Structure 1
């Protein structure tokens, strides 16, 4: 954590997982489980609880759970298999679910939300509105894309920092999002590279919040 300027920093790590129909292969081949293991490892450095709250979303919230260091092997496949139909890609439902969980948790630590998806939000305006409303809360949203890096569907995520609908400070009090594309086979991204990429903007966001 020292290399990222996060020595001594505490944060709750959330994992948001896309269950739209196009994600089927990534659940089946263990890619999503691999990401969950990486999220747990990060949580072990930032949060002493040893658990990561997980939100599965598609058209709506498909399910919520927690994964733990002493019970994580095969856990994502188990949970995914129990959730039924895979739908569309409504980011805003997941954003709102994380906010609700965070507020109910009673924690005073900030949250680092790993938001995994393989496509654009089905409801773009709703996604923008949810992220703007969340900007006043101690929640940082790190989007992590799976799939073809050239796909036009990722334009929404590529343009988070420059979108007029998400402009800072007109629409958001602070830039509360980051984006990293992990490619067609995210398992080939080394752990050190993944953490380096997803944590790039987190220290700056923490500093901006401290400065008000």
Structure 2
């Protein structure tokens, strides 16, 4: 029996051969995409007139994908349904991955005539499958805009017959350059209201960075969520949901992939699914709708420092990292946490703590006065009620020290400081 996928849900693939089929009568298009989300040429678009590509084959209503045979640089395969009338049913998509089978039924579509059904994508060296079910009111034109597809224009009408008598040629209309479209990677999968809010918040982040001479800053964003037992009420009231939704805009502004690596801190620290823009609603439903229990009931800040630091030691050290750590207070090991802060000085990360619980934060409240470090690698501020803080003010506080840390940590001329004035 097939496992049913929700919109935005992703699962790891167990094999390098899979089939994706639909029971609806629609035109299917497969797009092979590079890391930048763009096709590299005509051969990356597989459809009824060109059904074969490297690692992909379209057979009527079934797409066959061999991930180990995709062209060099391919990191994503998107399956798109094109319909001639908005609102036409797209049926159920069935994905077979070795012995595993999944199903996904797109819903809530009204005016879209081109819809991304599912996508196969590479993440941290492993292939995964994601249910998407989001599309474009402007059909193939929207597809072309987002994925770099060359869509032929409609045939131009026949020109009118030449006049029998010469007439003055009309003045040509002034040439207008279309405004550039600034898209956040994956935003096309978000509901319209959330997409708009994310864009507004990203712009506020950019304003805050510009004030600090950091308009061109590129960085990695990591989120750490306190999941100790005392946070139960905060999760139940949606505080963590709204907090994570708001910091997603920071990743959208400075991370090339518009994503965050996410960790849960309790008695132990657990890394969970990366948070990408298009996954935001599903990710929040999975990890913040109620207190997640994977990390246990207690607090262990030092272990979280070690876990995140260990992850970063395997990443590109030339990319500065901002760790956003939401904590409700009640630090249980002040000395161990202080040692962890000092040990993390050489890790290319600035650790920004945000207090949410009106509680005793212990050593966290003394981070700004903690001497004996080559660079100040930590910051802390507490909010009685984060929902009462305007977005612009929140980003001002979160980003107040990060650009300065980048300048202090990396030597002059280093690529990491290239975007800093």
Q: TM-score range by the shorter chain?
A: 0.7 to 0.9
1:123 aligns with 2:123: no
The 1:76–1:94 alpha-carbon spacing in structure 2 relative to 1, beyond 3 Å, is farther
Secondary structure at 2:304 match in 1: helix
Larger radius of gyration: 2
Matched, 1:194 2:403: no
Question: In the alignment, what sits opposite 1:180?
Answer: 381
2: CA distance, partners of 1:8 / 1:63: 29
Does residue 159 (structure 1) correspond to residue 366 (structure 2)? The answer is yes
1:6-41 Cα deviation digits (max 9, x unpaired)? 210111011000001110111122211111112211
Structure 1 residue runs of 5 or longer lacking an equivalent are none
1:15 counterpart (207, 223, 227) = 223
Q: Rate the CA distance shift 1:63–1:109 in 2: closer, same or farther, 3 A.
A: closer
Q: Alpha-carbon deviation of 1:74?
A: 4.6
Name 2:234's counterpart in structure 1. Answer: 26
Q: How does 1:18-57 map to 2 (within 5 A)?
A: 18-57=226-265
TM-score (norm 2): 0.45
* TM-score relative to the length of structure 1: 0.87
The question of whether the paired residues in 2 share the 8 Å contact of 1:33 and 1:75 is answered with no
How big is the shift at 1:84? 4.6
Task: Find the aligned partners of 1:96 and 1:85 in 2 and give their Cα distance.
Answer: 15
CA-CA distance at 1:85 after TM superposition: 6.8
- 1:108 deviates by 2.4
Distance in 2 separating the partners of 1:84 and 1:207: 37
SS at match of 1:59: coil
Given that 1:33 and 1:74 are in contact with CA atoms closer than 8 Å, whether structure 2 keeps it comes out as no
Runs of 4+ in 1 over 4 A off after TM superposition: none
1:120 is displaced (CA, Å) by 3.3
Runs of 5+ unmatched residues, structure 2: 1-208, 413-421
Contact 1:63 1:83 in 2 (8 A): no
Q: Check conservation: 1:89, 1:119, Cα contact below 8 A.
A: no
- Separation of aligned partners in 2, 1:117 and 1:8: 29
What SS does structure 2 have at the residue aligned with 1:17? strand
Q: Does 1:89 find its partner at 2:299?
A: yes
- Give the length in aligned residue pairs: 202
Corresponding residue for residue 316 of structure 2 = 106
Q: Give the Cα–Cα distance (whole angstroms) in 2 for the partners of residues 128 and 77 of structure 1.
A: 34
